[in-house]
Amino acid sequence: MIFGAGALGQLADEVARLGIRRALVLATPPQRGRAERIAAILDTDSAVIFAEAAMHTPLAVTERALVALQHGGADGLVTIGGGSTIGLGKALAVRTGLPHLAIPTTYAGSEMTPILGETDQGVKTTRRDPAILPRSVIYDVGLTLSLPAALSASSGINAMAHAVEALYATDGNPIIALMAEAGIAALARALPVIVRDPQDRAARDDALYGAWLCGACLGAVEMALHHKLCHTLGGSFDLPHAQTHTVILPHVIAYNAQAAPDAMARVARALGSADPARALYDLTGRLGATRALRDLGMKQDDIARAARLACANPYPNPHPVTEEAIRALLSRAWAGEPPQS
């Protein structure tokens, strides 16, 4: 992992260290210009571009990228972008065994995890495999300056969600707890500054540091109710990833508050408030983020089905999960009401 302002300057050396002679450079369509810049750094003769990455790693896109990989004769992968692009890099790496270097430009944290979520015809499946983890990551704060204020806010809260759930994970440990608390605190400090001034380099540095910590938490331990709900809402109702996390997180903190007191004490300390659920709800409001699922396009009629899907398979969570309670939680989140314990 290489972290710092100007870290992109180490790209060519790192690509060589991984033994990549001809890279397939991946990006989303709006970030094609960045992929071209990466190709230029690597020397355009030794790079091929595929700029069609999309949210939730659709299988059809992966299949097209595999064709581009074979036609281009690439022997390694370089991804520049958020979780969508890095997800595509992971999907290709796990199928081909090729080395993958990730250059994240959001706070989603996918680069630090051996987790891959893929969608095929509206069904999202997720797996964990050490072969999915990128071999190298370059964090360069300069690449995050262009992330719009609204996306910075929701992406930052998405990162916080990894750390919150790591604090009450059944396989958690004291080191992860330290990283999680530090990650939440860094993002809580940085996000209000970034929303006021997206060009503030110190705050961007702090946020990227926090995102790295939170991503490492996600990669290390099992997630619970929050991630299950967001996975369901994203995969089955096509709601946008980071924004959905931002709406749901205060409600899940409230839901688990009594059952996970040690974890909540750390979240409270990181947010500087005795009531972390309310503090986070207020913070998202101050950041100007969407606080209601209905504003993300979810229909009220879908609440019952979402609750049923989210409860279909049992999974560990500090507070017992019942369909009725999840329906109530989702109803509040749908309407944008404050969280309730």
Tokens (6 digits) for 165: 């759930």
Nearest residue to ligand NAD by CB is: 83
Q: Which amino acid is it at 308?
A: R
Q: How far is CA 286 from CA 188, 192, 194, 279, in A?
A: 11, 8, 12, 10
Distance CA 38, CA 45 (A): 12
Q: How many residues does this entry show for the chain? A: 341
For residue 154, the minimal CB distance to ligand NAD (Å) is 8
For residue 78, the minimal CB distance to ligand NAD (Å) is 15
Residue closest to 146 by CA, chosen among 243, 51, 55, 30: 30
CB nearer to ligand NAD: pick between 31 and 284: 31
For residue 73, the minimal CB distance to ligand NAD (Å) is 26
For residue 274, the minimal CB distance to ligand NAD (Å) is 29
CB nearer to ligand NAD: pick between 245 and 332: 245
Within a 10 A sphere around the Cβ of 178, how many other Cβ atoms? Answer: 12
Distance CA 136, CA 18 (A): 8
For residue 282, the minimal CB distance to ligand NAD (Å) is 23
CB-based contact 41:159 (threshold 8 Å): no
Distance CA 244, CA 230 (A): 6
Please give the residue ranges that form the binding site for ligand NAD (CB under 6 A).
28, 30-31, 55-56, 81-85, 87, 105-106, 108-110, 113, 115-117, 143-144, 146-147, 151, 155, 158, 218, 241-242
